[in-house]
Amino acid sequence: MKKLGWFLLNLLIYLAIVALIVWGLPQFLSWKLGTQYPIAAITSGSMWPALKEDDIVLIKKIPKEEIKVGDIVVWTNDKGFTIHRVVKLNPNTLVTKGDANFAQDPPVKYEEIVGRTVYWKDSKPLRIPYFGYIAVISGKWRGGQK
């Protein structure tokens, strides 16, 4: 009986840890970074070599005044989200471009900006390689795709 009690207690602790990681971590990051979308998975090579396909980056909400040329920002659009580098700031819009792309993107309104990537050191974006693959696959499963 005592053994069963220990087993159940251990199981409960493990489940609590898993729940904390799966549910609690995004909640914590969302609160800490001030955005509804604190984690982004990179699904294309348009920002190579700064960001690589299947990387995960953290996104921090920043006010319009703090956005600078050279920042890597995420914005919402019809396709979902795009993450590119700011190349020009206009009064009502900003212009971005993927590092690996030749053409600039159409101007983006400041209201569409979700946030900027969290920096590591020397203004390099903090990225976790390969973890984006897991996020993309789990996203597909949740969406009922294969």
**Sites of contact with other proteins (CB under 8 A):** 45, 48-50, 52-53, 99-102
List the end-to-end C-alpha distance of the chain, in Å, as a whole number.
44
**Residue that the structure tokens 């919402």 belong to:** 76
**For other proteins, which is the closer residue by CB, 99 or 112?**
99
Q: Tell me if 96 sits within 8 A of 83, measured CB to CB.
A: no
Residue 97 CA to residue 100 CA, distance in Å, equals 8
- Distance between CA 124 and CA 133 in Å, rounded? 21
Cβ at position 55, least distance to other proteins in Å: 11
Residue among 29 and 42 whose Cβ is closer to other proteins: 42
Residues facing 59 on adjacent strands = 117
Q: Which is closer to other proteins, CB of 6 or CB of 102?
A: 102
CB of 41 to other proteins, least distance (A): 16
Shortest Å, Cβ 22 to other proteins: 28
Residue 49 CB, shortest distance to other proteins, in Å, is: 6
Q: What angle do CA 127, 132, 144 make, to 5 degrees?
A: 160
Our CB check for other proteins shows the closer of 35 and 82 to be: 82
